Amino acid sequence: MPHFEDRTNQPDCTREKEKAFTAQAEKLGHLKPHQEDEQTGPTHAVEAKFVTPLDPVVVTANGRRLPAVPIDEAAKLNRLKDGVDGLETPRSPPRGAIREGRDGTAYGARLSSPRTRHVSDASQNESPHASLSDSVPASRTNPLFPPLPMYGPPTLLRTLQCLFLRIVSSVLSLGFLLAIVVGAIADGIPRIATYVRRRAMLQNPDARRPFYQEEKQRAQERKAAKRAWKQRQRGTRTPSNEKGAGVQGAEEEFVPTEGGADPLVVDISYYARRVGLDAEVFDVETEDGFIIELVHVFNPRDYRKRPRSSRKSDGASAFENSPRDSGYDHPQTLPDGQKKYPILMMHGLLQSAGAYCCTDDDSLAFYLAKSGFDVWLGNNRCGLQPRHTQLPYADPRMWAWNIRQMGVMDLAALIGRVLAETGFPKVALIAHSQGTTQTFVALAKEQRPEIGEKISVFCALAPAAYAGPLIGKIYFKVMQLIGPGVFRLVFGIHAFIPLMMKAHRFLPSSFYGWMGYHVFSFLFSWSDQRWDRGLRNRMFQWAPTYVSAESMRWWLGRECFAKQKCILATREEGKLEDREDEEDDEVIRRFYVDRDPRHVTPRMKLQRNITSFHCQTLTHQHHDRTRGKYAWYDERFPPLALWVAGADNLVDGRRLLRRFDRGREPHVRVVHKKIIEGYEHLDVIWAMDAIEKVGKEVREVIWRTADPAVARTCRTPVGCQKALEEEPDVKDEVPMMHSGGRLRMASISEGRPKVDSGADVGATCIREEGEEVPQEGGARTSIDRSAEMQGEHDHIAEEAREFGPKGRRMSEAVFDDVQEKGNPLG
């Protein structure tokens, strides 16, 4: 009898399953059925594809994708689909890694969220017709990455709510922006008055800039090149100040095809042509449907530009695209030693790939390309031109993302496309600021650590993992006080203050660049002291860019980075680590200082404070071996090199170094690290001596850490021909454009990076001059610290004395555990 009843009820059961699946598919789809047409095709959801255990993206009936949805919603869609298909065992969401925090917090997939709503609220949220306010999830489920709001297909109510929010947030965010501009103007008035007074006294205020003479010389060279270009265009004569004039063979390799006055355009290829290179743009589709740009910088003499059709997006599957024909002549048949090793470069917050291409020959991207690398520049989602395969700009689903999606989706898609285009198994990654953040997040155990297997070395410039004291500024504190609802009311649920980007269309480029510098300088307390001021307006043509309001809420809101002061650990964990560090410092002091203080040299102080965990010196023998239990990363993390700006108040790079030094990441192999005293956050890419202090070392690190078998198939980069132990020939260097053969400016004397290539077994770690300590496992870590030249920053002290209390001072930090402790060894 039960068997008979099951058979008679089967049609009703099937209809119920189909009805439930249809409702869920409509809820997670792109459009309502009545909104679809021949152009869109069917847009209801058919499946949830788990890119990672934390990131289920929606696949629609037309084969396209929508951004990630909550795990429970995705699991429900797949479960209902499997029921309709007649599967006996419906699929379950994949189980990802669970990482345990030192304070007991668990990070990973399928975390249970505390109930913060009543049942009636929850049931209302399940409806596909839920209002916009009901679509916003609870914000306290994960201390580091709260769930993003979920928006369904557009309805009349949702459209009206979005329009209302856009209007209100436009007015309120405009007021916020005007307040920042007024603050920047007020902050600059004392400096303007001082400048005018010194000019009236027949003094040159710029003479105290650290690289003033070099700035003057470069400005003269640019003027001469401009005149020469005009004369060349008239056909009167060939310019004598072409790149590398007087350098043998240099003029034949890189010949500029653009010149004259700088029009201040947002075009990487134009500035590449000004230095004898060129660039092409590839479209890359992320696994959640965003179209992002990947810029390829190349030498037109050995590479032919690809047709536009072959540079379009080729699907949304990262790491699954097979190698394709490249623009190099017969790439698969090139003899060993002729290929170029690939590099991917990622930009910082509110910037784009142009940040690496705006300082002529001092641009890191151009320098590495001329050195012999295959340079690719990645842009994050939206950037200068928001695009998605299905969603329009006004759809709030296009802006429901934060730093996690930029790491696990954007970075993976860009790396996959570079590997597919070049045919290499791995790529070297260079990242600055936010680019390091999205990488550090993506490589965490519970995120997408398999990305690390595609990276040969990770070069982190001004790494942003811990907050600096700048987070305590009054305007950042105000943003931390407002809740998620008020934040969305002020800054909207779309782009963050889009008026900044729209202003670029109608404001003069020079004024836009000038205003951009002063606003960002006021917000982030950096200066242009080390930059070439003649190029400053060009630097800010690529900033700001479109970012989501949710992304900025992650950085500045009350729940995430601004509160926790870290990207992958809670504030409580940071305090526990500080107590451990204090114990470490005490052990070091007792063993080294109290025992024999006469032999404590500055070099010993540096190496006892900043040394690799992989170097088993006495400094680390007291470490608790259980610290690795709470590590962020596993063995898939790539070799790491760090360049920390010593005067960076925006992020705390020293604290990150301390994490690696004190044994908290046993699987991370630090091959080089350097603190550049006096450098601010952007100096690592824009300072006039950045090539000397950063660029040459990055080049060396990338080449020395490449797989030897792969390196044999590539061209040896300029400056890397000699063995690591030998000093490079100063003449064996990339020449500067329009310099008449003049070498790069003399900078602070520094040694070459001692890179652990992993080739030598039984290597040693240098403790102090003339003394070596055997290193377990042959791992070596380079330790370097750049000092300031005497008097290099006297101008800063003078300004502080002159302005006195009226000068801008750093606000007190929110709590002490973020502050860098003094050297325990004195």
pLDDT digits (tens, 9 = 90+) for 590-634: 766 555 555 555 444 434 433 443 344 433 434 556 778 889 999
The pLDDT assigned to 89 comes to 78
Q: What is the pLDDT of residues 266-300, one digit of tens each?
A: 999 999 999 999 999 999 999 999 999 999 999 99
The pLDDT assigned to 596 comes to 55
Give the position of tokens 């609802």: 485
- d(CA 683, CA 679) in angstroms, rounded, equals 6
- d(CA 505, CA 508) in angstroms, rounded, equals 8
Structural domain includes residue 787: no
Name every residue whose Cβ is closer than 8 Å to that of residue 696 and which is 6 or more positions away in sequence: 719, 752
Structural domain includes residue 506: yes
- d(CA 625, CA 607) in angstroms, rounded, equals 21
Structural domain includes residue 109: no
The pLDDT assigned to 276 comes to 93
Give the position of tokens 């999830």: 137
More confidently predicted of 577 and 134 = 577
Q: What is the pLDDT of residues 86-106, one digit of tens each?
A: 887 778 788 878 888 887 788
CB of 418 closer than 8 Å to CB of 376: yes
Quote helix, strand, coil % in the chain, to nearest 5: 45, 10, 45
Instruction: Extract the tokens encoding 334.
Output: 């090139």
DSSP state of 208: G
Q: How confident is the model at residue 192 (pLDDT cuts 50, 70, 90)?
A: confident
More confidently predicted of 788 and 439 = 439
Name every residue whose Cβ is closer than 8 Å to that of residue 187 and which is 6 or more positions away in sequence: 522, 808
CA-closest candidate to residue 396, choices 627, 189, 163: 163
For the chain, the average pLDDT equals 80
Q: Which of 7-21, 658-672, 736-750, 791-805 tops mean pLDDT?
A: 658-672
Residue 372 and residue 458 in one domain: yes
CA-closest candidate to residue 434, choices 409, 400, 465: 465
Q: Which residues pair with 461 in a beta bridge?
A: 432, 643
Instruction: Extract the tokens encoding 466.
Output: 């811990």
Any idea how long the chain is? Answer: 826
The pLDDT assigned to 598 comes to 55
Q: What is the dihedral of CA 155, 161, 165, 167, to 10 degrees?
A: 90
Does residue 390 sit in helix, strand or coil?
Answer: coil
**pLDDT (average), residues 449-478:** 94
- Catalogue the E-assigned strands of 436-495: 455-461
The pLDDT assigned to 599 comes to 57
Residue 563 and residue 712 in one domain: yes
- d(CA 298, CA 275) in angstroms, rounded, equals 11
Structural domain includes residue 338: yes
The last residue of a domain, from among 687, 702, 720: 720
**pLDDT (average), residues 764-784:** 40
CA distances from 445 to 92, 111, 430, 759 (A): 21, 15, 21, 28
Q: What is the pLDDT of residues 223-242, one digit of tens each?
A: 999 999 988 887 654 444 44
- d(CA 295, CA 297) in angstroms, rounded, equals 6
Residue 675 and residue 556 in one domain: yes
Does residue 765 sit in helix, strand or coil?
Answer: strand
**pLDDT (average), residues 442-462:** 96
CA-closest candidate to residue 526, choices 145, 184, 196: 184
Instruction: Extract the tokens encoding 220.
Output: 């003269």
Structural domain includes residue 796: no
Residue 509 and residue 435 in one domain: yes
Residue 220 and residue 360 in one domain: yes
364 burial type by CB count under 10 A (0-12 exposed, 13-18 middle, 19+ buried): buried
Q: How confident is the model at residue 327 (pLDDT cuts 50, 70, 90)?
A: low
The last residue of a domain, from among 61, 96, 131: 96
Count of structural domains, the chain: 2
The pLDDT assigned to 595 comes to 56
Is the model's pLDDT at 44 over the cut of 90?
A: yes
Q: ∠ at Cα 123 (159, 138), nearest 5°?
A: 75
Residue 77 and residue 197 in one domain: no
More confidently predicted of 120 and 604 = 604
More confidently predicted of 82 and 238 = 82
Positive or negative: CA dihedral 18, 21, 26, 29: negative
Pairing of strands 374-378, 106-108: unpaired
Q: Which domain holds residue 192?
A: 149-227+256-320+332-568+637-720
CB of 352 closer than 8 Å to CB of 379: yes
Structural domain includes residue 808: no
- d(CA 25, CA 28) in angstroms, rounded, equals 5
Structural domain includes residue 139: no
Residue 184 and residue 70 in one domain: no
- d(CA 421, CA 555) in angstroms, rounded, equals 33
Q: What is the pLDDT of residues 1-43, one digit of tens each?
A: 444 444 445 577 788 888 999 999 999 999 999 999 888 899 9
Q: What is the pLDDT of residues 475-496, one digit of tens each?
A: 888 888 888 889 999 999 999 9
Torsion-angle region of 737 (φ positive above 0: left; ψ -120 to 50: alpha; else: beta): beta
Structural domain includes residue 297: yes
The backbone torsions φ and ψ at residue 609, rounded to the nearest 5 degrees and listed phi first, read: -90, -35
- d(CA 264, CA 535) in angstroms, rounded, equals 10
Q: How confident is the model at residue 773 (pLDDT cuts 50, 70, 90)?
A: very low
Residue 92 and residue 172 in one domain: no
Of 251-255, 438-442, 465-469, where does mean pLDDT reach its minimum? 251-255
Q: What is the pLDDT of residues 350-391, one digit of tens each?
A: 999 999 999 999 999 999 999 999 999 999 999 999 999 999
- d(CA 131, CA 127) in angstroms, rounded, equals 9
Is the model's pLDDT at 760 over the cut of 60?
A: no
CATH number for the domain that contains residue 353: 3.40.50.1820
Is the model's pLDDT at 769 over the cut of 50?
A: no
Give the position of tokens 């451990």: 580
CA-closest candidate to residue 682, choices 432, 397, 466: 432
CB of 644 closer than 8 Å to CB of 677: no
Is the model's pLDDT at 515 over the cut of 70?
A: yes
Q: Which residues pair with 383 in a beta bridge?
A: 546
The last residue of a domain, from among 720, 754, 774: 720
The pLDDT assigned to 556 comes to 92
CB of 380 closer than 8 Å to CB of 410: yes
Residue 520 and residue 669 in one domain: yes
CB of 143 closer than 8 Å to CB of 402: no
Residue 57 and residue 184 in one domain: no
Give the position of tokens 């590590």: 631
* Cis peptide bond upstream of 544, omega within 30: yes
Instruction: Extract the tokens encoding 320.
Output: 């699954």
First to last CA, the chain: 88
Positive or negative: CA dihedral 600, 602, 607, 609: positive
Residue 159 and residue 23 in one domain: no
- d(CA 133, CA 489) in angstroms, rounded, equals 11
Instruction: Extract the tokens encoding 525.
Output: 């307390």
Residue 87 and residue 182 in one domain: no
Q: How confident is the model at residue 742 (pLDDT cuts 50, 70, 90)?
A: low
